[in-house]
Amino acid sequence: MRGVFATILQNRAVAEDILKMVLRGKDGAGLAGARPGQFLMVRCSDTSDPLLRRPMSLYDVSGDTFSIVYRVVGAGTRLMAKMPEGGEVHVIAPLGNGFNLPPQSGRVALVGRGVGAAPLVFLAKTAIAQGKRVFGFISATSRESLVGVEDLSKMGVELQTGVDTDGSSTELLDLIRERHSAEPFDYVATCGSRRMLRLVQDLRTATGVPGEVLLETRMACGIGVCKGCVVMTADGTYKKVCTDGPVFPVELIAG
Amino acid sequence: MTERPDMSVAIGGLKLRNPVIAASGVVGYGVEYADLGVLDCFGAIVVKGTTLAPRAGNPPPRLAETPSGLLNSVGLENPGVDAVIREVIPRIPRTGARIIVNVAGATVDEYCRVAEKLDRVDDVDALEINISCPNVRTGGIQFGTVPETSAALVEAVRKCTGKVLIVKLTPNTGSICEVAKAVEQAGADAVSLINTILGMAIDVQSRRPVLSTVFGGLSGPAVKPIALRMVWQVSNEVTIPVVGMGGISEANDALEFLMAGASAVAVGTALLRNPRAGLEIVRGLEDWLVSEGMDDIRAVCGSAKAVRP
C-alpha cells in the first residue's frame, strides 16, 4: 500500500446517485497486483470537515488506471461527486484482502445489490481472465440504479437482474437456488445485501459451496490501527473489516 | 544559518529527539504505519492502551464522524500485556523514536501488575498511565476525575516501576488542575492531556444513538481550543513537563500547544486522515524555528505566557 495523489480522469454518473471515478496515480505506478475486493481510502476534503477518508472498493484496475463506483450518501461522497475531472485526489491503496477465487472453480456466481455490485465487476473480470464461467445476479431498487450490468455483460458474464424496492429480491434469489441445484456453482461471492448474504450462507450450509462476502462499514484509518470498523464473527471474536477483511468466508459472518 | 535547530526535549528523565509523539490508539502497534514509511519521524510512539488480560473492546458501531471531529468507543481492545510484550513491542521498528506504553486497568492492582511487567522490558522507555479512558465501565476515567483517587493510583504504580511515568488526564472533570497537582505530588514525572471529551451522536433515521455505547470520546480539530486552554491552565499549576494533545493536525497547532506551556505534543486523530501528519509537523516545526532565527525548540515552550514589555 502507499499514499498517492491521483489525477481524476473521469468522475460522472453511471446510475442514479451513483458515480464512477477513474484515477491515475501521479507517481505513474498504477495499482498492479491489486486484487478484486481490495479498497482505497479516499480523502474527500482538504479541510478537516469531513475529517475522515472514505473507503471505496476497487471497481477496476487497468494498466496504470484504477476506478471506483460510489453512491452519494453523505457529506463526504457529495464532495467527491463535485470533484472536477482533471483535478486530483489523495488516496491510500490498495488496502485489505481480496476475494479468494478457488483455482479449481469453473462456475462462479456473483450476487450483488445496489452499489455493492461494484467490487464484483472487478472480480468478474479476473474470473473470466482465468477462464471461469461467471454468472451475475444483480439487483437494485430501480432499473436506473443497477450498477455494473453493462460492463458485466460486455465481459461475457451470464447476467440476471432484478428490481425491487424492499430488498427482498425474491425472484432473483429463487433463480440462484434453481441454477445452483441444476448445475452447482463452485464459488459464490456477494456484497451489498443481508438477504443475499443469507442465501449464500444457506447454499454453503446445504451444499458446501464456498462463499465469500465483502463487508462495507464505516472506517477511520483503513489500515488496521484504530479498531473502529470491527464486526463480530462466528468464532466469538471481533475482526477488523479493513485488515482482516473486507472479504470474509460467509460462514464467519452473522446473517 | 545552515545548521538545523535543536529539536530535542526532555519528558522527566526521558530525552526525545523531537517533541512530536504519536498518541496512543492511532499508531496501533507501530507496525501498520511503518508500511507507509511515516513512523521514522516521531520523537516517541505510544503503544495503545494495554491491560493485564486481553480485552475484546466494545460492540460496533464504534465510530461516529462529527464536524471536524471523531467520536470513538473502541473500549481498550488489546491483546493483554503479556502478548504486547511478547509479540507487539519486538515488532515495532526501532527508528530512534522512544517507546511509551499506555497502561490501563480496572483496579489499582491491575495497573500495578501491568506496570511491573513492563518495567522489566528494556525496549519500553516510559509508561503513560491512562486514568482517563471514557469508554470502559470500570477503572480508567473513574480514577482520573477525582484528585485523591488519581493520586492513590499513581502512588501505587510509582512503587512498581522506575521508568518515566506520564499520567494521561481526562478533560471530563471539573478539576483537571487539581488532578494534575495531585498526580505530581504522587510521583508522576509528567502529565499528558487531554484524553477525549465525552460526547454522543444520534442517527435521526433510526432514532438511535450512533455508538453502541451511546457515549464515546470526541477527538480531532473540534476539541483543540478546549485542549489548548487546559494545557495552558495545567502548565501554570505543575512544575513537571506537560505533553499537550487534542486536535493537533499541523505544525501551527503544535506551536500553539508548545507556546501554551507544553514541552512536547502528541498527534492522534490527524494520523487517521493523514498518515504523514507527524512528518509534516516535525518538518514544519523545524522550518518555523529556522524562519524565526531560533536554534532550540525548548525556547518555544510557554512563550505565549511571557509578559510582554
Q: What is the pLDDT of residue B2?
A: 56
Asked if residue A231 belongs to a domain, the reply is no
Q: What is the pLDDT of residue B248?
A: 98
Q: What is the pLDDT of residue B156?
A: 96
Digit-coded pLDDT (tens) for B207-241: 999 999 999 999 999 999 999 999 999 999 999 99
Q: From the centroid of its chain, how far is CA A109? A: 14
Where in chain B are the domains? 9-305
Chain B nearest C-alpha distance from A242 (Å): 12
Q: What are phi and psi of B34, to 5 degrees?
A: -60, -35
Cβ neighbours of residue B223 closer than 8 Å, sequence gap 6 or more:
B69, B171, B194, B196, B197, B246, B247
Q: Which of B163, B154, B54, B47 is nearest to B101 (CA)?
A: B47
A230–B77 CB contact, under 8 Å: yes
Asked if residue A187 belongs to a domain, the reply is yes
**β B44-50/B20-22 pair status:** parallel
Report the C-alpha gap between A157 and B3 in whole angstroms.
64
Residues of chain B neighbouring A49 (CB-CB closer than 8 A)? 67-68
Among B26, B57, B68, the residue with its CB nearest the CB of A225 is: B26
- Residue numbers of B between 280 and 309 with CB closer than 8 Å to A: none
Asked if residue A243 belongs to a domain, the reply is no
Residues of chain B neighbouring A48 (CB-CB closer than 8 A)? 68, 220-221, 249, 273
Interface confidence (ipTM) of the complex: 0.92
Q: What H or E segment, with its residue span, contains residue B111? A: helix B108-119
Chain B nearest C-alpha distance from A89 (Å): 13
Asked if residue A113 belongs to a domain, the reply is yes
Residues of chain A neighbouring B61 (CB-CB closer than 8 A)? 218
Residues of chain B neighbouring A220 (CB-CB closer than 8 A)? 63, 70, 72, 272
Asked if residue A40 belongs to a domain, the reply is yes
A51–B221 CB contact, under 8 Å: yes
Question: If you classify domain B9-305 with CATH, what class do you get?
Answer: alpha beta
B225 touches chain A (CB under 8 A): no
Residue type, A141: T
The CATH number assigned to the domain holding A17 equals: 2.40.30.10
A230–B57 CB contact, under 8 Å: yes
The CATH number assigned to the domain holding A119 equals: 3.40.50.80
Region B179-201: mean pLDDT is: 97
Is the Cα dihedral B85, B88, B93, B96 positive or negative?
A: negative
Q: Which residues of B are catalytic?
A: 133
Q: Note whether A111 and A91 are same-domain residues.
A: no
Q: What is the pLDDT of residue A60?
A: 96
Residue type, A142: S
Q: Are B297 and B18 in contact (CB under 8 A)?
A: yes
A51–B56 CB contact, under 8 Å: no
Tens digit of pLDDT at every position of chain A (255 positions): 788 999 999 999 999 899 999 999 988 878 888 999 999 999 999 999 999 999 999 999 999 999 999 999 999 999 999 999 999 999 999 999 999 999 988 999 999 999 999 999 999 999 999 999 999 999 999 999 999 999 999 999 999 999 988 877 788 888 888 998 899 999 999 999 888 999 999 999 989 999 999 999 999 999 999 999 999 999 999 999 999 999 999 999 986
Asked if residue A241 belongs to a domain, the reply is no
The domain of A27 spans 2-95
Residue type, A113: R
Q: Note whether A59 and A111 are same-domain residues.
A: no
Residue A151 grid coordinates:
460492463
pLDDT at B135 over 70: no
Q: Note whether A121 and A91 are same-domain residues.
A: no
Neighbours of A30 (CB within 10 A): 16
Among A50, A221, A232, the residue with its CB nearest the CB of B272 is: A221
The label of the residue with cell 482465468 reads A130
Phi-psi region of B207 (alpha: psi -120 to 50; beta: other; left: phi over 0): left
Asked if residue A54 belongs to a domain, the reply is yes
Q: What H or E segment, with its residue span, contains residue A4? A: strand A2-15
Phi-psi region of B25 (alpha: psi -120 to 50; beta: other; left: phi over 0): left
Q: Note whether A139 and A203 are same-domain residues.
A: yes
Neighbours of A198 (CB within 10 A): 15
Q: Give the residues across from A240 on adjacent strands.
A: A230
Q: Are A57 and A98 in contact (CB under 8 A)?
A: no
Residue type, A112: G
Digit-coded pLDDT (tens) for B28-74: 565 667 777 778 899 999 999 999 999 999 999 999 999 999 999 99
pLDDT band at B137 (very low <50, low <70, confident <90, very high): low
Q: Note whether A111 and A209 are same-domain residues.
A: yes
Is the Cα dihedral B154, B156, B159, B160 positive or negative?
A: negative
Give me chain B's average pLDDT, please. Answer: 92
Q: Which of B101, B141, B144, B146 is nearest to B121 (CA)?
A: B101
**How many CA atoms lie within 13 Å of B48's alpha carbon, on the beta-carbon side?**
26
Report the C-alpha gap between B56 and B252 in whole angstroms.
37
**β B264-267/A238-240 pair status:** unpaired
Looking at chain A, list the stretches that DSSP marks H as alpha helix, in order from N- to C-terminal side. 75-81, 118-129, 149-155, 170-182, 194-207
Residues of chain A neighbouring B28 (CB-CB closer than 8 A)? 224-227
B74 touches chain A (CB under 8 A): yes
A92–B60 CB contact, under 8 Å: no
Q: What is the pLDDT of residue A77?
A: 97
A51–B69 CB contact, under 8 Å: yes
Q: What is the pLDDT of residue A166?
A: 82
Report the C-alpha gap between B253 and A232 in whole angstroms.
38
Residues of chain B neighbouring A223 (CB-CB closer than 8 A)? 32-33, 35-36, 275
Chain B nearest C-alpha distance from A254 (Å): 13
Q: Give the residues across from A108 on adjacent strands.
A: A134, A187
The label of the residue with cell 473470466 reads A128
- Residue numbers of A between 18 and 77 with CB closer than 8 Å to B: 43, 48-53
My answer on whether omega of the bond before A246 falls inside 30° of 0, hence cis, is yes
Among B59, B67, B273, the residue with its CB nearest the CB of A232 is: B59
Q: What is the pLDDT of residue A1?
A: 78
Residues of chain A neighbouring B57 (CB-CB closer than 8 A)? 227, 230, 238
Q: Are A123 and A105 in contact (CB under 8 A)?
A: no
Asked if residue A237 belongs to a domain, the reply is no
The count of structural domains within chain A is 2
Report the C-alpha gap between B280 and B270 in whole angstroms.
11
Chain B interface disruption, residue of A44, A215, A230, most B CBs within 10 A:
A230
Looking at A26-129, list the stretches that DSSP marks H as alpha helix, in order from N- to C-terminal side. 75-81, 118-129
